[in-house]
Amino acid sequence: MAGYTLSTLETAIRNYTEVDSNVLTGAILAGFIENAEYRIFYDVPSDNNRYVSEGNLAADDNTINVPGKGTKGLTGTVFVRGVEVFNSTANTEGEGTWLQKKDQTYLSEYVNRLTGTEGGSTGQDVTGFPKYYAMFGGATAVSDTTSGGLYLAPTPDANYMHRIYYDMVPASLVTKTSGTYISQYFPQGLLYACLAEAFGYLKGPMDMLTLYEGKYKQEVQKFAGVQIGRRRRDDYTDGTVRIPVKSPSP
């Protein structure tokens, strides 16, 4: 199956449902496509959603804004996978240290132990090279100025370089009309997810809704096998995948 553009996917949905543009308008199909893309995003941790952002911590500031809308023109951080801080303020040639992810309550207890106080605010009064981070505001963002982000402890005592490794919802085919990673490399799954949306909207036939739900689930298992299986391993490190094949009976 060839990859889809927005136009060819819209045509395919209308052809499969045998409904024209008077019923399934472009606006309605855009909703189906976006819902399908979000479904795939949350069903499969796909490598195309992974991004890295670099910047400098602010001395005496125990928070970082997570990357948001405007970074690569995408939707915003959904979750953070890791934070690396370098013992350098000019570039990332210094030694990198991975911060340990903790809850906000842990950071408060950690800071209070160091200061010998109770009830202190997270990260205040203790400066140094950061060791821990915790999410606040869901650690999500639709812009770089929103409140979602990360707490650090200890509070940075210098403008250390840092990297944030995170996942974003990619640009939709609705806006990137010439094609996306999903529409090109997982077109059948995107189509089946859209058809499940379409037949749900059209109130049936229910056997067709069931058919395309099943087809989507079959295809998403194959896609997940590539994304979290083959793309996360190599033959040298992990060995060649071998599938046992039974020999015929003598």
104, 175 contact by CB (below 8 A): no
Confidence of residue 145 (pLDDT cuts 50, 70, 90): very low
Residues 6 or more apart whose Cβ sits within 8 Å of residue 188: 1, 215, 219
Confidence of residue 117 (pLDDT cuts 50, 70, 90): low
Q: 172 in helix, strand or coil?
A: coil
Q: How many CB atoms lie within 10 A of CB 240?
A: 8
Q: What pLDDT is attached to residue 214?
A: 95
Q: What residues does each domain of the chain span?
A: 49-168
**Least-confidence region, from 69-78, 181-190, 226-235:** 69-78
pLDDT in tens, 65-80: 888 754 444 567 888 8
pLDDT in tens, 3-45: 999 999 999 999 999 999 999 999 999 999 999 999 999 999 8
